[in-house]
Amino acid sequence: MGIESSKSANSEVDSDELEGHYGYRIMKLLENGSGMRAGLRAYEDFIVAVDDLIVEEEEERIMEYLEEKTGHQVKLVVWNCLDEEEREVLLVVNKPTKDMGYLGVIVRYESLFEAAEYTWHVMSVVPNSPADEVGLMPQLDYIVGTPSVAFRSYDTLPQLVYDAAHLQNSLDLMVWSQATGKVRIISVEPEITEEGTPLLGCELAKGLLHQLPRRNISKTRTRHSKHTETIETPNTPNSVESNDSSTKDTTHSNSMDTTTEEFYDTRSPSSFEARNLEQVPDIDDPNKQTKSGSTTFNKNT
Residue-level pLDDT at 13: 53
Distance of CA 274 to the CA centre of its chain: 25
**What pTM was estimated for this model as a whole?**
0.72
All domains in the chain, ordered by first residue: 15-111 (2.30.42.10), 120-270 (2.30.42.10)
**Does the structure show a pLDDT above 80 at 50?**
yes
CB 29 within 8 A of CB 42: yes
Q: What percentage of the chain carries pLDDT values higher than 90?
A: 57
Q: What is the pLDDT of residues 2-41, one digit of tens each?
A: 444 334 344 555 556 677 799 999 999 999 999 999 999 9
Radius of gyration of the chain (CA): 20
3-state secondary structure (DSSP) of residue 177: strand
Residues near 230 by beta carbon (within 8 Å), at least 6 away in sequence: 250, 251, 253, 254, 255, 256, 257, 258, 259, 260
Residue-level pLDDT at 208: 85
Q: If 0-12 CB within 10 Å is exposed, 13-18 middle and 19+ buried, where does residue 240 land? A: middle
Spell out the SS3 assignment of 253-276. CCCCCCEEEECCCCCCCCCHHHCC
CA nearest to 181, candidates 77, 46, 107, 82: 82
Cα separation, 25 vs 294, in Å, equals 11
Q: What is the DSSP string of 67-133?
A: HHTTTSEEEEEEEETTTTEEEEEEEEPPPP-SS--SSSEEEEEEESTTTT-S-EEEEEE-TTSHHHH
More confident position, 286 or 12: 12
Q: What percentage of the chain carries pLDDT values higher than 70?
A: 65
Element (H, E) at 199: strand 198-199
| Other Cβ atoms within 10 Å of 223 Cβ, number | 12
